[in-house]
Structure formats: C-alpha cells, structure tokens
Structure 1
Amino acid sequence: MDLVRVLIAVLLPPLAVFLQVGIGKHFWLNIVLTLLGYVPGLVHAVWIIAKK
C-alpha cells in the first residue's frame, strides 16, 4: 500500500499526505511546500509516508 501512496505522491503530493494522515498540520504544510516548489512538497510527502 505504501508503494501506491508513493506513486500518488509523485503525481499529487498533498493527496498522498491526506491519505496518510488526514487533514492536519502535515497536510497544510505539504500544500504550502508544494506551492513553493514541487520538489519540497514531494520530499515532504515521501517522508511522511516513510515515517508511518
């Protein structure tokens, strides 16, 4: 299941974080990071998925 979330993270990082932790501080942080640049949002999403 984590492989599917990583693939989703490559396409839409905030969606992958939402599926992992729901709406919370990590979700909103990921949206901000993705708006600032795709790579920071991607790295954060993969980190959240790997951490759990």
Structure 2
Amino acid sequence: MTDIKEEDFMKAMEAASEVLGADPAYFGEEGDVELKRQLKKLGYSEEELK
C-alpha cells in the first residue's frame, strides 16, 4: 500500500470493523479485502492500494 493518511486508515478500519463485527485483522484475507473496500470508498484507487 502507498502512503495512506492515518485518519483515513482509522476510518476504514472502523467501517470494516462494523461490517465484519470485529477487528478486520481477525479475518485474515477477508479482513484485508474489506479494509481495501473501505479505503476505496474514501477515494483511494486500486493502484494506490497495491
């Protein structure tokens, strides 16, 4: 991943936690996918997230 603003990362983690019902880190790859989905909602491109 490229440089993601800390506040954006925290917002995405919170949103992913709400969707999954727990910290995304507990879900492995599924958690990573949800976190990336939330970051995309905040305006990050697929290329930026690689």
Larger radius of gyration: 2
Query: With structure 2 as the length reference, what TM-score do the two structures score?
Result: 0.44
Query: With structure 1 as the length reference, what TM-score do the two structures score?
Result: 0.43
More helix by share: 1
